[in-house]
A and B are shown apart, each in its own frame.
Chain A
Amino acid sequence: MMQKYRLDKKGYINRKKIISFKFNGKKYFGYEGDTLASALLANGIHLVGRSFKYHRPRGFIGAGVDEPNAKVQLYNKEAKNEPNVLATEVELVEGLTAKSQNCWPSVSFDFGAINNLFSKFFPAGFYYKTFMWPKNFWYRIYEPIIRKAAGLGVAPLKPDPDRYEHKFEYCDVLVAGSGPAGISTALAAAKNGAKVILAEEKPRFGGSLLSDEVTIGNKNGKDWADESISQLKSMPNVIVKNRSQVFGYYDHNMMVMIEKTKDHLENPTKFIPRQRLWYIRAKEVVISTGSIERPLVFANNDRPGIMLASAAKEYMKVYGVLVGKKPIIFTNNDSAYDCAIEFKKNGIDPLVLDIRKNSDSSIVKEAKNLNIKIKFSHGVANSKGHLRVNLATIGKLNNSKSSYENLENVSCDCICVSGNWTPTVHLSSQSGNKLKFNDKIDAFIPNQSRQNETTIGSASGAFTLKKSLEDGFSKGYEISKKITGKDTKSSPPTSNERSSEEHDKFWCMPLPKGKHYKRFVDFQNDVAVSDIELAVREGFRSIEHVKRYTTLGMATDQGKTSNLNGLQLVSNVEKKIVPEVGHTTFRPPYNPVTIGAIVGREVGKNYRPTRKSPMHSWHEKNNAVFVDAGLWLRPRYYKQSNETLSDAAIREATNVRNNVGVCDVTSLGKIDIKGADSAEFLNRVYTNAWMKLPVGKSRYGVMLREDGIVFDDGTTTRISENHFHMTTTTAQAVNILAHLEYYLQVVWPELDVNVLSTTEQWAGAAIAGPNSRDLMGKLFPSLDVSNEALPFMGFKEEDLFGVPARIFRISFSGELAYEINVESGYGIFMWEKIMELGKEMNIEPYGTEALSTLRIEMGHVAGSEIDGRVISSDLSLEGMLSKKKDFIGKRSLNREAFLDPDREKIVGVIPLDRKTMIPEGSHLVKDNKSSLPNPKLGHISASCWSVEYNNPFSLAILKEGKKRIGEKLYALSPLKNKSIPVEIVSSHYVDPKGERVRS
């Protein structure tokens, strides 16, 4: 129960609620309101992980999103685990279990740390330089080993059981960050009538007000923040969200925010999503994301116990946790004195080392008055301590700060560093804002906006509370006035703060003489000063190249604490100023986002809509096995007892050839075409002639793209003079409609034609087989279904037992066949009627597999032949190209390659043994033993078991196809390791004269 580093009565945690948790197998206690980081620190644990490359022991550096080291693997009750979670962002809940990453066998004894002993041999670019040869060793040997030794957590293997939601929202003003600037803006804008969203990434609102000793009005900062937040929450035009981080700024002020909704709850109900991703379209965005402290860099500055002064202060103020009892505060500016004073107030004597020669600012005076020991012109030269810092070698810098006048060892248990503040400009930069370098604070700040955004507060480089409040109130008012036109102005309250604006530009301590210790700039990627110096020495000049060569700022923290130090270093080495070096690009997300949240609920069968025919329930009841056809679920076959797919397809197709079968063809694309110029329009989009198609007749048509390639095929029926019903393939239905709309609206707006998709309005059933006419007679007793009255390609409208139906005598199977369409709502009625009246004829339903078999052996083309690479003549459809009229794509058919008489043509292929199925996609070659690359003559586009001839049959697209009929070739399928001797035959394998469809 001991939390040795917990202060009495400090912080905003709930001491009444004790929480137990496990870290690396050991049980600890913390309080409600702790983060995993603060609870571990309360128990004196600094060592949380091992570094990426050298496996050096690492501890906490920050207290929030900027943390580079404290990535842990989380395990929860449902045996779910999550890698790479920041311990500083995990709220403590009962039973939380976490483990260190990247260490084996344990974080305190890590075998991989042997890398550290050899670190001299692992400079920047080591992998690029070393593992060059032999070439194939890279993916077989080097990469797997390196991957195992480096890296972060372990990816979970099971599907994520949690639910994630997406939400779309619109607002006038989105305020990112609830520090003093953000709250002020939200207040001013909301009071002036704007619809405001205020987002805070942490559980607690207030930002710096939570840990700074300030007063606003007559209250302390935190109380002012709390009261302002409750006021905002009570306003109907304001959405206030904590645990919500705006991580991406996209075009046209589209902001994306991630809200954590579940993990902090002890007993969440099952209806709560784990996270919610907000897409927010904001008229104006106010970026008040604050700033992040920069570390100071010195030898061995990465030991556990060395952290940012602001983090140490936050742990004391917010969580009541001391990060150490013998602290050294090491700074180049005034702000760290806040931390020193906080230690002193809690009965701990800190030692302050200040790089500056002196300071007479009020905060330094206050520290002096509190008898805090301050050494000016001093800094930390080196640190010692294996798993936790226990000694600092401190020294007085000489005048030029290039070496030390003297060195001494001071024992300590933490070193709190402050190298001044870096404005968090990520969102602003993502918005397209060209940043500029501010000399005074040695950091980049937003400059020229490209979108509707404004950065205020310390994110804009204004580090005083007074300025944050003033800017917040004035911007909130101005921006909202622009949008709402209202004029309610609120004035900022008075404030009181310690001033702390001065800093020394010096931040990278010299090494003690003759030593080659590592001084880390980027903790998460183990990039040291020497690596960056090496990169520049080796000729890398662009900061983007230095970044990629050294991996500086490329870790999951995206260099929040390291980028600026890296830039400074490059400019120092190159003797340039930082703006000349420039900065690397900031890209979303600001912080890693769970893939689950990005995907939302579009997972599994919800990935895209599922379209079902009105007869779907009947298919289900009758053992249909379904297949995806675009968005549609279509019966592939109707399984009887323990048939295989192939057994069923043969049975179903045989029944169509010999008797009668019925197939659900609802998914075929259907487009209703009306208007005086409909026939003229069809004449332009199809390759064949349409003007003279009589009313009550269907015609087969082929469409091309403008480049001459076949786009789609289908039948279109003239229902009345100016009314046509077009069918398309299932797969192209959507594209064809857009294609027709394009030509009608953009190219030929003068045509009087309207098109409308009616795919879902009609349920379709194809009745096929020699006995189909008998069945049609039963279904439509008052209709003359004779060949004379309803010939091939004929069309009739007739009632199906009182239900209006359309009858098309068209055939995909090559048999005598009809398609019946009724309104979708009657689909199931139609289907059951067909099955009922067909029962005595032994009608059987057939699925897409039998449908394919039937069309393949007839040589009818489908999607596997119309694959975006063929022209009409390749498919032997050149007879459909009208010579008398122009049509879409016709002009392209004169292209030289299209006129080549030796082009590929559709043919049929039969294995010589009449037994072996030829895998689809096999290549046709002359010589199966030829050395590679074996010249390919063609490919197998579709294969089936011919029920007519009881042997395999395939369609192929073959070079000089028609000339090769009778030739013997080989079908090679390296994927299936097959080489099959085959014979080339005509693609019209069954009924080549097409007598059956006309019978």
Chain B
Amino acid sequence: MLEIKCPYCGKRSQNEFSYGGDASVKRPALEKEISDKEWDDFVYFRKNPRGKHLELWHHVSGCRQWFKVSRDTTTHEIYKTSKINEE
């Protein structure tokens, strides 16, 4: 079980959080004309990297904030966690 440092609450066990996928995905702006491919990439296609991955987690059983986690997908090492508006 991972130990994740919520930027708002501090270190907590993984079972307080839920996973939210790739944090680098940006939703296309509303009303913007985009190609089918761009939309498909946004909805369906995700990278599955071996190694460093920037992802979203949601502190569902805590402060209910979404935040970013930089994690190694093979070793589970967490390099950094940050608020959504932080780098």
Pairwise interchain contact A252-B39, C-beta atoms closer than 8 A: no
Pairwise interchain contact B20-A891, C-beta atoms closer than 8 A: no
Given contacts A738-B18, A738-B60, A891-B28, contact A746 B3 (CB under 8 A): no
- Per-residue interface assignment for chain B, residues 43 to 65, with 1 indicating a CB less than 8 Å from any chain A CB and 0 otherwise: 11000000000001010100011
Decide yes or no whether A672 CB sits under 8 A from chain B. no
Partner of B34, one of A279, A746, A885, A891: A891
Partner of B27, one of A738, A747, A885: A747
Given contacts A450-B75, A738-B18, contact A254 B84 (CB under 8 A): no
Given contacts A250-B1, A279-B1, A738-B18, contact A746 B31 (CB under 8 A): no
Partner of B66, one of A706, A746, A887: A746
Decide yes or no whether A798 CB sits under 8 A from chain B. no
Pairwise interchain contact A281-B13, C-beta atoms closer than 8 A: yes
Chain A contacts with B in 726-756, Cβ cutoff 8 A: 738, 741-742, 745-747, 749
Partner of B20, one of A707, A742, A887: A742
Decide yes or no whether B42 CB sits under 8 A from chain A. yes
Decide yes or no whether A684 CB sits under 8 A from chain B. yes
User: Nearest B residue to A892 by beta-carbon distance?
Assistant: B43
Give the docked Cα–Cα distance between A749 and B85 (Å): 9
A674 to chain B, nearest CB (A): 15
Give the docked Cα–Cα distance between A885 and B30 (Å): 9
Decide yes or no whether B80 CB sits under 8 A from chain A. no
Pairwise interchain contact B76-A741, C-beta atoms closer than 8 A: no
Interface size on B, residues (CB 8 A): 27
Give the docked Cα–Cα distance between A450 and B75 (Å): 8
Residues of B within 8 A of A886 (CB): 30-31
User: Nearest A residue to B58 by beta-carbon distance?
Assistant: A738
Partner of B56, one of A251, A253, A707, A746: A746
Pairwise interchain contact A741-B42, C-beta atoms closer than 8 A: no
Scoring A252, A254, A885, A887 by chain B CB atoms within 10 A of each residue's CB, the highest score goes to A252
Pairwise interchain contact B58-A251, C-beta atoms closer than 8 A: no
Decide yes or no whether A432 CB sits under 8 A from chain B. yes
Give the docked Cα–Cα distance between A281 and B42 (Å): 38
Interface size on A, residues (CB 8 A): 25
Chain B contacts with A in 65-87, Cβ cutoff 8 A: 65-66, 75-76, 78, 84-85
Partner of A252, one of B34, B66, B76: B76
Given contacts A251-B1, A738-B18, contact A684 B30 (CB under 8 A): yes
Residues of A within 8 A of B64 (CB): 741
Given contacts A281-B13, A891-B34, A892-B39, contact A254 B66 (CB under 8 A): no
Residues of B within 8 A of A251 (CB): 1-2, 76
Partner of B58, one of A742, A747, A749, A891: A742
- Per-residue interface assignment for chain A, residues 256 to 292, with 1 indicating a CB less than 8 Å from any chain B CB and 0 otherwise: 0000000000000000000000010100000000000
Residues of A within 8 A of B27 (CB): 706, 747
Give the docked Cα–Cα distance between A250 and B1 (Å): 6
Pairwise interchain contact B30-A254, C-beta atoms closer than 8 A: no
Pairwise interchain contact B31-A741, C-beta atoms closer than 8 A: no
Pairwise interchain contact B1-A707, C-beta atoms closer than 8 A: no
Residues of A within 8 A of B65 (CB): 745
Give the docked Cα–Cα distance between A686 and B84 (Å): 24
Give the docked Cα–Cα distance between A252 and B77 (Å): 8
User: Nearest A residue to B20 by beta-carbon distance?
Assistant: A742
B21 to chain A, nearest CB (A): 10
Pairwise interchain contact B13-A741, C-beta atoms closer than 8 A: no
User: Nearest B residue to A756 by beta-carbon distance?
Assistant: B64
Give the docked Cα–Cα distance between A749 and B67 (Å): 12
- Per-residue interface assignment for chain A, residues 893 to 933, with 1 indicating a CB less than 8 Å from any chain B CB and 0 otherwise: 01000000000000000000000000000000000000000
Pairwise interchain contact A254-B42, C-beta atoms closer than 8 A: no
A598 to chain B, nearest CB (A): 13
Residues of B within 8 A of A279 (CB): 1
Pairwise interchain contact B58-A741, C-beta atoms closer than 8 A: yes
Pairwise interchain contact B39-A891, C-beta atoms closer than 8 A: yes
A432 to chain B, nearest CB (A): 7
B5 to chain A, nearest CB (A): 11
Give the docked Cα–Cα distance between A707 and B42 (Å): 10
Residues of B within 8 A of A885 (CB): 31
Residues of A within 8 A of B60 (CB): 738
Pairwise interchain contact A281-B3, C-beta atoms closer than 8 A: yes
Residues of A within 8 A of B44 (CB): 707
A704 to chain B, nearest CB (A): 11
Give the docked Cα–Cα distance between A887 and B13 (Å): 35
User: Nearest B residue to A250 by beta-carbon distance?
Assistant: B1
User: Nearest B residue to A256 by beta-carbon distance?
Assistant: B1
Give the docked Cα–Cα distance between A252 and B56 (Å): 19
Residues of B within 8 A of A450 (CB): 75
A706 to chain B, nearest CB (A): 5
Scoring B18, B28, B34, B76 by chain A CB atoms within 10 A of each residue's CB, the highest score goes to B76
Given contacts A251-B1, A281-B3, contact A749 B84 (CB under 8 A): yes
Given contacts A684-B30, A741-B66, A745-B66, contact A432 B84 (CB under 8 A): no
Pairwise interchain contact B66-A742, C-beta atoms closer than 8 A: yes
A753 to chain B, nearest CB (A): 14
Given contacts A742-B58, A747-B27, A891-B28, contact A706 B42 (CB under 8 A): yes
Give the docked Cα–Cα distance between A352 and B31 (Å): 88
User: Nearest B residue to A252 by beta-carbon distance?
Assistant: B3
Give the docked Cα–Cα distance between A894 and B27 (Å): 17
B70 to chain A, nearest CB (A): 15
Chain A contacts with B in 652-693, Cβ cutoff 8 A: 684
Chain A contacts with B in 431-479, Cβ cutoff 8 A: 432, 450
Give the docked Cα–Cα distance between A710 and B66 (Å): 24
Give the docked Cα–Cα distance between A885 and B31 (Å): 7
B2 to chain A, nearest CB (A): 5
A399 to chain B, nearest CB (A): 50
Give the docked Cα–Cα distance between A595 and B1 (Å): 19
Give the docked Cα–Cα distance between A279 and B15 (Å): 12
A615 to chain B, nearest CB (A): 27
A37 to chain B, nearest CB (A): 35
A966 to chain B, nearest CB (A): 38
B16 to chain A, nearest CB (A): 12
Scoring B1, B18, B84 by chain A CB atoms within 10 A of each residue's CB, the highest score goes to B1
User: Nearest A residue to B31 by beta-carbon distance?
Assistant: A886
Partner of B75, one of A432, A746, A747, A887: A432
B23 to chain A, nearest CB (A): 8
Pairwise interchain contact A706-B20, C-beta atoms closer than 8 A: no
A385 to chain B, nearest CB (A): 50
Give the docked Cα–Cα distance between A250 and B15 (Å): 14
Partner of B84, one of A706, A738, A745, A894: A745
Residues of A within 8 A of B36 (CB): 894
Residues of A within 8 A of B84 (CB): 745-746, 749
Give the docked Cα–Cα distance between A684 and B31 (Å): 11
Give the docked Cα–Cα distance between A124 and B57 (Å): 48
Give the docked Cα–Cα distance between A253 and B58 (Å): 22
Give the docked Cα–Cα distance between A281 and B3 (Å): 9
Pairwise interchain contact B43-A707, C-beta atoms closer than 8 A: yes
Residues of B within 8 A of A892 (CB): 39, 43
Residues of A within 8 A of B3 (CB): 252-254, 281
B58 to chain A, nearest CB (A): 6
Give the docked Cα–Cα distance between A891 and B44 (Å): 13
Give the docked Cα–Cα distance between A254 and B30 (Å): 43
Of the A-B pairs whose beta carbons lie under 8 Å apart in the complex, a sample of 16, sorted by A's number, is A252-B1, A252-B76, A281-B3, A281-B13, A684-B30, A706-B42, A707-B44, A738-B18, A741-B64, A741-B66, A749-B84, A886-B31, A887-B30, A892-B39, A892-B43, A894-B36
Q: A252-B3, A741-B58, A742-B66 are in contact. List 14 more A-B contacts (CB 8 A).
A: A251-B1, A251-B76, A252-B1, A252-B78, A253-B3, A707-B43, A707-B44, A738-B60, A741-B64, A742-B58, A746-B84, A886-B30, A887-B30, A891-B39
- Going nearest first, the 9 A-B pairs with the smallest beta carbon separation are A886-B30, A252-B3, A745-B66, A251-B76, A254-B1, A886-B31, A747-B27, A891-B39, A746-B66
What residues of chain A have their CB less than 8 Å away from a CB belonging to chain B?
Answer: 250-254, 279, 281, 432, 450, 684, 706-707, 738, 741-742, 745-747, 749, 885-887, 891-892, 894
